Protein backbone atom coordinates (compact mmCIF):
# COMPACT_ATOMS: atom_id res chain seq x y z
CA UNK A 1 0.00 0.00 0.00
CA UNK A 2 1.46 3.34 -1.09
CA UNK A 3 1.56 6.10 1.48
CA UNK A 4 1.14 9.77 0.60
CA UNK A 5 4.87 10.19 1.14
CA UNK A 6 5.64 7.35 -1.29
CA UNK A 7 3.46 8.97 -3.95
CA UNK A 8 5.06 12.36 -3.39
CA UNK A 9 8.58 10.97 -3.56
CA UNK A 10 7.87 9.07 -6.77
CA UNK A 11 6.18 12.07 -8.44
CA UNK A 12 8.96 14.40 -7.37
CA UNK A 13 11.66 12.01 -8.58
CA UNK A 14 9.93 11.79 -11.97
CA UNK A 15 9.54 15.57 -12.30
CA UNK A 16 13.18 16.16 -11.37
CA UNK A 17 14.36 13.57 -13.89
CA UNK A 18 12.15 14.91 -16.71
CA UNK A 19 12.97 18.57 -16.17
CA UNK A 20 16.68 18.00 -15.51
CA UNK A 21 16.20 20.16 -12.43
CA UNK A 22 18.11 20.29 -9.19
CA UNK A 23 16.20 19.19 -6.09
CA UNK A 24 16.58 22.72 -4.70
CA UNK A 25 14.92 24.30 -7.75
CA UNK A 26 11.52 22.68 -7.29
CA UNK A 27 9.37 22.49 -4.21
CA UNK A 28 5.92 21.01 -3.79
CA UNK A 29 4.21 24.27 -4.80
CA UNK A 30 6.33 25.18 -7.83
CA UNK A 31 4.05 25.80 -10.81
CA UNK A 32 5.62 23.35 -13.25
CA UNK A 33 3.81 24.50 -16.40
CA UNK A 34 3.64 28.20 -15.57
CA UNK A 35 7.39 28.24 -15.02
CA UNK A 36 7.99 26.34 -18.25
CA UNK A 37 9.53 23.27 -16.59
CA UNK A 38 7.16 21.02 -18.56
CA UNK A 39 5.39 21.65 -21.88
CA UNK A 40 2.49 19.85 -23.57
CA UNK A 41 4.58 16.78 -24.41
CA UNK A 42 5.83 16.86 -20.82
CA UNK A 43 2.22 16.76 -19.61
CA UNK A 44 1.46 13.89 -21.96
CA UNK A 45 4.44 11.88 -20.71
CA UNK A 46 3.48 12.71 -17.11
CA UNK A 47 -0.03 11.35 -17.66
CA UNK A 48 1.50 8.20 -19.12
CA UNK A 49 3.84 7.90 -16.15
CA UNK A 50 0.96 8.19 -13.67
CA UNK A 51 -0.75 5.33 -15.48
CA UNK A 52 2.35 3.12 -15.51
CA UNK A 53 3.52 3.92 -11.98
CA UNK A 54 0.23 4.15 -10.10
CA UNK A 55 -2.35 2.68 -12.48
CA UNK A 56 -4.06 6.09 -12.54
CA UNK A 57 -5.86 6.87 -15.79
CA UNK A 58 -6.62 10.50 -16.64
CA UNK A 59 -9.92 11.20 -18.34
CA UNK A 60 -10.63 14.14 -20.69
CA UNK A 61 -12.62 16.01 -18.06
CA UNK A 62 -9.84 15.61 -15.48
CA UNK A 63 -7.39 17.58 -17.61
CA UNK A 64 -7.63 20.72 -15.53
CA UNK A 65 -4.90 22.89 -14.11
CA UNK A 66 -5.97 22.12 -10.52
CA UNK A 67 -4.83 18.51 -10.95
CA UNK A 68 -1.46 19.14 -12.56
CA UNK A 69 -0.04 22.58 -11.80
CA UNK A 70 2.36 21.49 -9.03
CA UNK A 71 3.76 18.38 -7.38
CA UNK A 72 1.35 18.96 -4.49
CA UNK A 73 -1.63 19.00 -6.86
CA UNK A 74 -0.45 15.96 -8.84
CA UNK A 75 -0.03 13.99 -5.61
CA UNK A 76 -3.52 14.99 -4.46
CA UNK A 77 -4.93 13.94 -7.85
CA UNK A 78 -3.17 10.56 -7.73
CA UNK A 79 -4.26 9.94 -4.15
CA UNK A 80 -7.86 10.74 -5.01
CA UNK A 81 -7.74 8.00 -7.67
CA UNK A 82 -5.95 5.27 -5.71
CA UNK B 1 5.00 48.58 -18.06
CA UNK B 2 5.15 51.67 -20.29
CA UNK B 3 2.32 51.61 -22.80
CA UNK B 4 2.23 55.32 -23.59
CA UNK B 5 3.53 54.78 -27.11
CA UNK B 6 0.96 52.11 -27.95
CA UNK B 7 -2.21 52.94 -29.84
CA UNK B 8 -5.28 52.29 -27.69
CA UNK B 9 -6.24 48.66 -28.18
CA UNK B 10 -9.33 48.23 -30.37
CA UNK B 11 -10.99 45.62 -32.56
CA UNK B 12 -9.88 47.58 -35.65
CA UNK B 13 -6.24 47.72 -34.70
CA UNK B 14 -5.17 45.13 -37.30
CA UNK B 15 -7.27 46.53 -40.13
CA UNK B 16 -5.02 47.54 -43.04
CA UNK B 17 -6.01 51.09 -44.01
CA UNK B 18 -3.93 51.45 -47.18
CA UNK B 19 -4.55 47.98 -48.60
CA UNK B 20 -3.51 48.92 -52.15
CA UNK B 21 -0.11 50.21 -51.02
CA UNK B 22 0.44 47.21 -48.73
CA UNK B 23 -0.42 44.80 -51.54
CA UNK B 24 1.85 46.62 -53.97
CA UNK B 25 4.67 46.47 -51.48
CA UNK B 26 4.25 42.70 -50.92
CA UNK B 27 4.10 42.11 -54.67
CA UNK B 28 7.19 44.21 -55.30
CA UNK B 29 9.11 42.41 -52.56
CA UNK B 30 8.00 39.00 -53.85
CA UNK B 31 9.11 39.91 -57.38
CA UNK B 32 12.48 41.09 -56.12
CA UNK B 33 12.94 38.06 -53.82
CA UNK B 34 12.25 35.56 -56.59
CA UNK B 35 13.77 37.24 -59.64
CA UNK B 36 16.79 38.87 -58.02
CA UNK B 37 17.62 37.31 -54.66
CA UNK B 38 16.68 33.72 -55.54
CA UNK B 39 17.42 34.14 -59.27
CA UNK B 40 14.39 32.05 -60.35
CA UNK B 41 12.12 32.63 -63.35
CA UNK B 42 8.76 32.27 -61.60
CA UNK B 43 6.97 30.37 -58.87
CA UNK B 44 5.08 27.20 -58.10
CA UNK B 45 2.32 27.37 -55.51
CA UNK B 46 0.61 24.38 -53.94
CA UNK B 47 -3.05 25.36 -54.10
CA UNK B 48 -5.52 23.69 -51.75
CA UNK B 49 -8.60 25.85 -52.16
CA UNK B 50 -7.78 27.43 -48.80
CA UNK B 51 -7.44 31.13 -48.14
CA UNK B 52 -3.66 31.26 -47.57
CA UNK B 53 -2.57 29.41 -50.70
CA UNK B 54 -5.16 31.35 -52.72
CA UNK B 55 -3.77 34.70 -51.62
CA UNK B 56 -0.22 33.51 -52.29
CA UNK B 57 -1.17 32.43 -55.78
CA UNK B 58 -2.93 35.72 -56.50
CA UNK B 59 0.09 37.68 -55.26
CA UNK B 60 2.41 35.50 -57.34
CA UNK B 61 0.32 36.01 -60.48
CA UNK B 62 0.58 39.77 -60.00
CA UNK B 63 4.27 39.66 -59.10
CA UNK B 64 5.56 37.42 -61.90
CA UNK B 65 2.70 37.44 -64.43
CA UNK B 66 0.29 34.49 -64.64
CA UNK B 67 2.36 32.72 -67.28
CA UNK B 68 5.24 32.43 -64.81
CA UNK B 69 3.19 30.80 -62.07
CA UNK B 70 2.12 27.16 -61.85
CA UNK B 71 -0.61 26.17 -59.42
CA UNK B 72 -0.20 22.61 -58.26
CA UNK B 73 -3.04 20.66 -56.68
CA UNK B 74 -1.81 17.82 -54.50
CA UNK B 75 -4.83 15.79 -53.42
CA UNK B 76 -4.72 12.45 -51.66
CA UNK B 77 -7.40 10.00 -50.63
CA UNK B 78 -8.49 12.03 -47.58
CA UNK B 79 -8.77 15.38 -49.43
CA UNK B 80 -12.21 16.80 -50.09
CA UNK B 81 -13.38 17.21 -53.69
CA UNK B 82 -14.39 20.76 -52.84
CA UNK B 83 -10.73 21.67 -52.25
CA UNK B 84 -9.81 20.78 -55.82
CA UNK B 85 -12.82 22.52 -57.37
CA UNK B 86 -12.10 25.75 -55.48
CA UNK B 87 -8.39 25.61 -56.36
CA UNK B 88 -9.26 25.27 -60.05
CA UNK B 89 -11.74 28.16 -59.85
CA UNK B 90 -8.99 30.30 -58.32
CA UNK B 91 -6.44 29.42 -60.99
CA UNK B 92 -8.96 30.13 -63.77
CA UNK B 93 -9.77 33.50 -62.25
CA UNK B 94 -6.11 34.56 -62.26
CA UNK B 95 -5.24 32.89 -65.57
CA UNK B 96 -2.71 30.56 -63.95
CA UNK B 97 -1.97 27.11 -65.39
CA UNK B 98 -2.44 24.13 -63.08
CA UNK B 99 -1.26 20.58 -62.60
CA UNK B 100 -2.83 17.85 -60.52
CA UNK B 101 -0.51 15.46 -58.71
CA UNK B 102 -2.38 12.86 -56.69
CA UNK B 103 0.01 11.80 -53.92
CA UNK B 104 -2.09 8.91 -52.57
CA UNK B 105 0.17 6.22 -54.06
CA UNK B 106 3.30 7.89 -52.70
CA UNK B 107 1.70 8.13 -49.25
CA UNK B 108 0.67 4.51 -49.45
CA UNK B 109 4.29 3.63 -50.24
CA UNK B 110 5.46 5.48 -47.15
CA UNK B 111 2.88 3.61 -45.08
CA UNK B 112 1.27 6.92 -44.10
CA UNK B 113 -2.28 5.58 -43.81
CA UNK B 114 -1.31 2.19 -42.33
CA UNK B 115 0.95 3.68 -39.65
CA UNK B 116 -1.69 6.30 -38.73
CA UNK B 117 -4.53 3.78 -38.58
CA UNK B 118 -2.49 1.31 -36.52
CA UNK B 119 -1.95 3.97 -33.87
CA UNK B 120 -5.64 4.97 -33.86
CA UNK B 121 -6.68 1.32 -33.51
CA UNK B 122 -4.46 0.87 -30.47
CA UNK B 123 -6.45 3.60 -28.70
CA UNK B 124 -9.87 2.78 -30.15
CA UNK B 125 -9.83 -0.96 -31.05
CA UNK B 126 -13.27 -0.64 -32.65
CA UNK B 127 -11.90 1.77 -35.30
CA UNK B 128 -12.50 0.60 -38.88
CA UNK B 129 -10.53 2.83 -41.28
CA UNK B 130 -12.58 1.67 -44.26
CA UNK B 131 -15.86 3.09 -42.99
CA UNK B 132 -15.12 5.29 -39.94
CA UNK B 133 -13.82 8.84 -40.00
CA UNK B 134 -11.17 10.10 -37.59
CA UNK B 135 -9.47 13.29 -36.51
CA UNK B 136 -7.34 14.57 -33.67
CA UNK B 137 -8.37 17.65 -31.74
CA UNK B 138 -7.75 19.74 -28.64
CA UNK B 139 -10.76 19.75 -26.35
CA UNK B 140 -9.49 21.94 -23.56
CA UNK B 141 -10.40 25.57 -23.16
CA UNK B 142 -7.50 27.84 -24.15
CA UNK B 143 -8.38 30.08 -21.20
CA UNK B 144 -7.13 27.56 -18.65
CA UNK B 145 -3.48 27.59 -17.80
CA UNK B 146 -2.50 24.08 -18.87
CA UNK B 147 -0.71 22.94 -22.04
CA UNK B 148 -2.93 21.52 -24.76
CA UNK B 149 -3.32 17.76 -25.06
CA UNK B 150 -4.77 16.02 -28.10
CA UNK B 151 -7.68 13.57 -28.20
CA UNK B 152 -8.54 11.16 -31.01
CA UNK B 153 -12.15 11.28 -32.20
CA UNK B 154 -13.65 8.50 -34.31
CA UNK B 155 -17.01 8.97 -36.02
CA UNK B 156 -18.88 5.77 -36.92
CA UNK B 157 -21.14 5.63 -40.02
CA UNK B 158 -24.25 5.81 -37.80
CA UNK B 159 -22.99 9.06 -36.27
CA UNK B 160 -21.71 7.55 -33.01
CA UNK B 161 -18.72 9.56 -31.75
CA UNK B 162 -15.94 7.90 -29.74
CA UNK B 163 -13.28 10.16 -28.28
CA UNK B 164 -10.27 9.34 -26.12
CA UNK B 165 -7.26 11.17 -24.84
CA UNK B 166 -4.23 10.20 -26.94
CA UNK B 167 -1.32 8.54 -25.14
CA UNK B 168 2.10 9.98 -26.04
CA UNK B 169 3.24 7.06 -28.21
CA UNK B 170 0.08 6.99 -30.32
CA UNK B 171 -0.13 10.79 -30.59
CA UNK B 172 3.44 10.99 -31.85
CA UNK B 173 2.91 8.15 -34.33
CA UNK B 174 -0.28 9.68 -35.76
CA UNK B 175 1.39 13.07 -36.22
CA UNK B 176 4.56 11.55 -37.68
CA UNK B 177 2.52 9.45 -40.11
CA UNK B 178 0.26 12.28 -41.28
CA UNK B 179 3.27 14.57 -41.70
CA UNK B 180 4.19 12.41 -44.70
CA UNK B 181 1.41 14.33 -46.46
CA UNK B 182 3.01 17.76 -46.13
CA UNK B 183 6.49 16.38 -46.79
CA UNK B 184 5.37 14.54 -49.93
CA UNK B 185 3.73 17.72 -51.17
CA UNK B 186 6.93 19.64 -50.55
CA UNK B 187 8.92 17.07 -52.57
CA UNK B 188 6.51 17.33 -55.48
CA UNK B 189 6.52 21.15 -55.39
CA UNK B 190 10.31 21.14 -55.55
CA UNK B 191 10.24 18.67 -58.42
CA UNK B 192 8.19 21.10 -60.49
CA UNK B 193 10.06 24.16 -59.24
CA UNK B 194 13.40 22.66 -60.25
CA UNK B 195 12.01 21.42 -63.55
CA UNK B 196 10.85 24.94 -64.40
CA UNK B 197 13.69 26.84 -62.65
CA UNK B 198 11.04 28.41 -60.42
CA UNK B 199 10.91 29.12 -56.68
CA UNK B 200 8.54 27.36 -54.28
CA UNK B 201 6.16 29.94 -52.87
CA UNK B 202 5.36 28.99 -49.26
CA UNK B 203 1.87 29.68 -47.96
CA UNK B 204 2.07 29.83 -44.12
CA UNK B 205 0.69 32.96 -42.46
CA UNK B 206 2.04 34.64 -39.33
CA UNK B 207 0.20 32.36 -36.90
CA UNK B 208 1.34 29.21 -38.64
CA UNK B 209 4.93 30.40 -38.62
CA UNK B 210 5.03 31.73 -35.07
CA UNK B 211 2.79 29.21 -33.31
CA UNK B 212 4.42 26.33 -35.17
CA UNK B 213 1.35 25.16 -37.07
CA UNK B 214 3.37 23.76 -39.94
CA UNK B 215 5.40 20.66 -40.70
CA UNK B 216 9.16 21.09 -40.64
CA UNK B 217 10.45 20.37 -44.17
CA UNK B 218 6.81 19.98 -45.20
CA UNK B 219 4.67 23.07 -45.72
CA UNK B 220 7.46 24.87 -43.86
CA UNK B 221 9.80 23.99 -46.73
CA UNK B 222 9.71 26.82 -49.25
CA UNK B 223 11.91 29.51 -50.77
CA UNK B 224 9.81 32.54 -49.90
CA UNK B 225 6.75 33.12 -47.69
CA UNK B 226 4.95 36.26 -48.88
CA UNK B 227 2.25 36.22 -46.17
CA UNK B 228 4.41 34.92 -43.32
CA UNK B 229 4.10 38.29 -41.57
CA UNK B 230 0.31 38.68 -41.92
CA UNK B 231 -2.39 37.90 -39.37
CA UNK B 232 -5.20 35.67 -40.59
CA UNK B 233 -7.77 38.48 -40.72
CA UNK B 234 -5.31 40.52 -42.79
CA UNK B 235 -4.96 37.58 -45.18
CA UNK B 236 -8.74 37.70 -45.60
CA UNK B 237 -8.54 41.44 -46.23
CA UNK B 238 -5.96 40.86 -48.96
CA UNK B 239 -8.09 38.06 -50.42
CA UNK B 240 -11.05 40.41 -50.83
CA UNK B 241 -8.89 43.16 -52.30
CA UNK B 242 -7.21 40.77 -54.77
CA UNK B 243 -10.51 39.24 -55.88
CA UNK B 244 -10.11 35.71 -54.54
CA UNK B 245 -13.39 33.82 -55.26
CA UNK B 246 -16.07 34.16 -52.58
CA UNK B 247 -16.35 30.37 -52.22
CA UNK B 248 -12.79 30.33 -50.88
CA UNK B 249 -13.21 33.39 -48.67
CA UNK B 250 -16.40 32.04 -47.08
CA UNK B 251 -15.05 28.54 -46.48
CA UNK B 252 -14.13 27.58 -42.90
CA UNK B 253 -10.36 26.93 -42.77
CA UNK B 254 -9.75 23.20 -42.42
CA UNK B 255 -6.64 21.08 -42.16
CA UNK B 256 -7.83 18.79 -45.00
CA UNK B 257 -5.55 16.20 -43.40
CA UNK B 258 -7.78 13.80 -41.48
CA UNK B 259 -10.77 11.82 -42.74
CA UNK B 260 -13.26 13.56 -40.43
CA UNK B 261 -14.08 17.22 -40.98
CA UNK B 262 -11.69 19.27 -38.89
CA UNK B 263 -11.34 23.01 -38.56
CA UNK B 264 -8.00 24.60 -37.80
CA UNK B 265 -9.61 26.00 -34.65
CA UNK B 266 -10.46 22.48 -33.36
CA UNK B 267 -7.10 21.11 -34.33
CA UNK B 268 -4.74 23.69 -33.04
CA UNK B 269 -5.69 27.27 -32.40
CA UNK B 270 -8.53 26.81 -29.85
CA UNK B 271 -9.84 30.30 -30.69
CA UNK B 272 -11.74 31.86 -33.63
CA UNK B 273 -9.31 33.72 -35.92
CA UNK B 274 -10.74 37.17 -35.30
CA UNK B 275 -10.15 36.77 -31.56
CA UNK B 276 -6.81 35.03 -31.89
CA UNK B 277 -5.39 37.73 -34.17
CA UNK B 278 -6.25 40.51 -31.76
CA UNK B 279 -5.09 38.73 -28.63
CA UNK B 280 -1.85 37.65 -30.33
CA UNK B 281 -1.28 41.27 -31.36
CA UNK B 282 -1.95 42.36 -27.79
CA UNK B 283 0.49 39.76 -26.47
CA UNK B 284 3.36 40.50 -28.82
CA UNK B 285 3.00 44.24 -28.32
CA UNK B 286 2.79 43.99 -24.51
CA UNK B 287 -0.73 45.33 -24.15
CA UNK B 288 -1.94 44.78 -20.58
CA UNK B 289 -4.37 41.86 -20.25
CA UNK B 290 -6.91 44.21 -18.64
CA UNK B 291 -6.98 46.52 -21.68
CA UNK B 292 -7.28 43.65 -24.17
CA UNK B 293 -9.87 41.87 -22.03
CA UNK B 294 -12.05 44.98 -21.85
CA UNK B 295 -12.18 45.18 -25.66
CA UNK B 296 -12.59 41.43 -26.21
CA UNK B 297 -15.25 40.91 -23.54
CA UNK B 298 -13.03 38.55 -21.56
CA UNK B 299 -11.57 38.73 -18.08
CA UNK B 300 -7.98 39.86 -17.58
CA UNK B 301 -7.24 36.43 -16.12
CA UNK B 302 -8.49 34.68 -19.25
CA UNK B 303 -6.43 36.96 -21.51
CA UNK B 304 -3.44 36.41 -19.28
CA UNK B 305 -3.84 32.63 -19.60
CA UNK B 306 -4.16 32.96 -23.38
CA UNK B 307 -0.96 35.04 -23.41
CA UNK B 308 0.74 32.18 -21.52
CA UNK B 309 -0.65 29.68 -24.02
CA UNK B 310 0.85 31.73 -26.89
CA UNK B 311 4.16 31.95 -25.08
CA UNK B 312 4.17 28.19 -24.55
CA UNK B 313 3.30 27.49 -28.19
CA UNK B 314 6.05 29.76 -29.47
CA UNK B 315 8.59 28.26 -27.06
CA UNK B 316 7.71 24.60 -27.61
CA UNK B 317 7.70 24.99 -31.41
CA UNK B 318 11.03 26.81 -31.58
CA UNK B 319 12.57 23.55 -32.80
CA UNK B 320 10.41 23.73 -35.95
CA UNK B 321 11.80 27.13 -36.89
CA UNK B 322 15.42 26.25 -36.13
CA UNK B 323 17.90 25.65 -38.92
CA UNK B 324 20.24 22.67 -38.61
CA UNK B 325 22.87 23.25 -35.94
CA UNK B 326 26.50 22.94 -36.94
- Exposed / middle / buried, residue A7 (Cβ in 10 Å: 0-12, 13-18, 19+): buried
* Mean pLDDT (whole number) for B23-33: 98
Chain A residues with CB-CB distance to B141 below 8 A: none
Spatial strand order of the sheet with B97-100 comes to B97-100, B69-73, B43-46, B199-200
For the segment B123-137, the average pLDDT, to the nearest whole number, is 93
CB of B69 closer than 8 Å to CB of B43: yes
Which residues of B are less than 8 Å from A56 in CB distance?
none
Q: Which of B164, B165, B314, B315 should one mutate to test binding to chain A, selecting the residue with the greatest count of A CBs within 10 A?
A: B165
Helix H or strand E encompassing B180:
helix B168-196
Mean pLDDT of B110-133: 96
Most B CBs within 10 Å, among A33, A40, A52, A59, to test the B interface: A40
Model confidence at B207: pLDDT above 70: yes
Tell me chain A's radius of gyration from C-alpha atoms. 12
pLDDT at residue B98, as a whole number = 97
Which chain A residues are closer than 8 Å to B316 by Cβ? 39-41
Of B209, B216, B139, the closest CA to residue B176 belongs to: B216
| Confidence tier at B146 by pLDDT (50, 70, 90) | confident
Q: Domains of chain A, with CATH numbers? A: 4-81 (1.10.1200.10)
Beta-carbon separation of A63 and B146 below 8 A: yes
Domain spans, chain B: 19-106+177-268, 110-172
What's residue B297's pLDDT?
95
Kindly report the average pLDDT of chain B as a whole number.
Answer: 92
pLDDT in tens, A61-81: 888 889 999 999 999 999 999
Mean pLDDT in residue range B273-297: 95
Quote the pLDDT of residue B53: 96
Question: Average pLDDT of B86-100?
Answer: 96
Query: What CA–CA distances, in Å, run from B113 to A25, B118, B291?
Result: 44, 8, 47
pLDDT grade for B95, boundaries at 50, 70 and 90: very high
Determine the distance in angstroms separating the CA of A6 from the nearest CA of chain B, rounded to an integer: 25
B146 touches chain A (CB under 8 A): yes
Q: Do A40 and B148 touch (CB under 8 A)?
A: yes
Say whether pLDDT at B144 is over 70: no
- Nearest residue, CB atoms, A60 vs list B146, B165, B168: B165
**Rounded CA gap, A18 and A20, in Å?**
6
Which candidate from B145, B167, B316 shows the least CB-CB separation from A40?
B316
pLDDT above 70 covers a percentage of chain A that reads: 100
- Residues in chain B within 8 Å Cβ distance of A39: 147, 312, 315-316
Lowest mean pLDDT among A46-50, B102-106, B129-133, B310-314: B310-314
The reply to whether B212 sits in an annotated binding site is: no
Confidence label for B218 from pLDDT (cuts 50, 70 and 90)? very high
List the Cα angle B143/B148/B153 in 5-degree steps.
Answer: 110
Task: Confirm or deny that B257 is annotated as ligand binding.
Answer: no
Average the pLDDT over B291-297 and give the result: 96
B71 belongs to an annotated ligand binding site: no
CATH class of B19-106+177-268: alpha beta
**Residue A81 touches chain B, beta carbons under 8 Å:** no
Question: pLDDT tier at B110 (50, 70, 90 boundaries)?
Answer: very high
Residues of chain B positioned with their CB less than 8 A from the CB of A44: 149, 166-168, 171
Max mean pLDDT among B71-75, B211-215, B309-313, B316-320 falls in B71-75
Q: Does the beta carbon of A77 lie under 8 angstroms from any beta carbon of chain B? A: no
Per-residue pLDDT band for A26 (boundaries 50, 70, 90) equals: confident
Which residue of B141, B148, B149 to mutate against A (max A Cβ within 10 Å)?
Answer: B149
Cα end-to-end distance, chain A, whole Å: 10
- The shortest CB-CB distance from A44 to any of B140, B168, B308 is to B168
ipTM of the complex: 0.82
**pLDDT at B275 (0 to 100):** 92
Mean pLDDT for the stretch of residues B118-142: 89
Mean pLDDT of B26-42: 98
Amino acid sequence: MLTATDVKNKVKKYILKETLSDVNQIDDDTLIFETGLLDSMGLLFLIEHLKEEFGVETQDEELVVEHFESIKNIVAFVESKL
Amino acid sequence: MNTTQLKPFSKDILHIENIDAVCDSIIEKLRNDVFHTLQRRGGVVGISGGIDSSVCMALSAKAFGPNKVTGIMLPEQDSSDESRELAQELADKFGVGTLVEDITTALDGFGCYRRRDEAISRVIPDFDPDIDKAKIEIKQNIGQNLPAIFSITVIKPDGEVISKLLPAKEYLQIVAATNFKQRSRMSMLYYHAERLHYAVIGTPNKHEVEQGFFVKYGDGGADVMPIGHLYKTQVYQLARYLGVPEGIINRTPTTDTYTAEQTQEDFFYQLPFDQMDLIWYGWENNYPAEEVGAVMGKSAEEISNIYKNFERKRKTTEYLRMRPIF
